[in-house]
Amino acid sequence: MRAAVYRRPGPAAEVLEVVELEPPEPGPGQVRVRIVTSGINPTDWKTRAGYAGRMPDGFQVPHHDGAGVVDAVGSGVAGLAAGQRVWLYLAAFDNRYGTAAEYAVVPASRAVPLPDDASDDLGACLGVPALTAAHCLGGNPEALKGQTVLVAGGAGAVGHYAIELAKHAGARVVATVSSDEKRALAEGAGADLVVRYTDADAARRIRDFANHVDRVVEVAIAANLDLDMAVLGSSGTIAVYAAEGELALPVGEFMKANTTLAFVLLYGLSPGQLADAIRWTSGALAVGALSALPVIPYPLEQVAAAHDRAAQGIVGKVVLRIAGN
pLDDT of residue 65: 98
pLDDT of residue 240: 97
CA 262/CA 25 separation, integer angstroms: 39
Q: Give all domains of the chain, ordered by start, each with its CATH number.
A: 2-126+290-321 (3.90.180.10), 130-267 (3.40.50.720)
Q: What pTM was computed for the model?
A: 0.95
pLDDT of residue 323: 58
CA 33/CA 181 separation, integer angstroms: 36
pLDDT of residue 303: 98
Inter-helix orientation angle 271-286/157-169, to 10°: 70
* Cβ–Cβ < 8 Å for 275, 131: no
CA 239/CA 237 separation, integer angstroms: 6
Closest-CA residue to 13 (of 1, 4, 26): 4
DSSP code string of 231-284: HEEEEEEEEE-S--S-----HHHHHHTT-EEEE--GGG--HHHHHHHHHHHHHH
Strands 172-177 and 193-196: parallel
Over residues 193-208, the pLDDT tens digits come to 999 998 999 999 999 9
Q: With a cut of 70, list the residues of the chain below it in pLDDT.
A: 323-325
pLDDT of residue 38: 98
Closest-CA residue to 60 (of 73, 45, 74): 45
CA 60/CA 40 separation, integer angstroms: 15
Over residues 107-145, the pLDDT tens digits come to 999 999 999 999 999 999 999 999 999 999 999 999 999
Neighbours of 204 (CB within 10 A): 13
What integer best gives the mean pLDDT of the chain?
95
pLDDT of residue 325: 43
